[in-house]
Amino acid sequence: MKFDVEIWFGDLDAFGHVNNVVYARFLETARVKFFMEKASKIEASFVLRRLEMDFLAPMFLDDVAEVEIWVGEIGTTSWEFLYSIKNKKTGEEVIKARTIQVWVDLESNQKRPIPDELRQILQSEKRG
């Protein structure tokens, strides 16, 4: 799944680069869009367990980020999302990222097996 995000003035820090924190926001948005588009019937009930980001190149005002998200490893209670962010102007990859999500009971905060309906969706979006 892919979507474009325009870089805004407010995304820049005092070096004039898109700030590292902003990319974490783009990844969060990708996760939410994934659920809204691919799994809208399933009530999202997961927590973020781990985030890894590699910063490969800077982006600047008026650039456009192409954010891509797909599924990596799928375990019993957790799965991987993988991400790539490209600068659409230059074609260059600017961010590679990976997150781990854990399916939980939101009341008790206990791990739960990924429900079958979600597992099938994740499986169909798995890559690499």
Angstrom distance (rounded) from CA 52 to CA 121 = 23
| 53 is a site residue for a copy of itself (CB under 8 A) | yes
| 110 is a site residue for a copy of itself (CB under 8 A) | no
State how far Cα 101 lies from the chain centre.
10
Q: Which residue reads 């600047």 in tokens?
A: 60
Residue of the chain from 42, 49, 64, 73 that contacts a copy of itself (CB under 8 A): 49
Contact 25, 7 (CB under 8 A): no
| CB of 116 vs a copy of itself, minimal distance in Å | 25
Antiparallel, parallel or unpaired: β 46-55 and 93-105? antiparallel
| CB of 111 vs a copy of itself, minimal distance in Å | 14
Summarize as ranges the residues that interact with a copy of itself (CB under 8 A).
Answer: 8-10, 12-16, 19-21, 24-25, 28-29, 32, 36, 47-55, 58, 61-62, 109
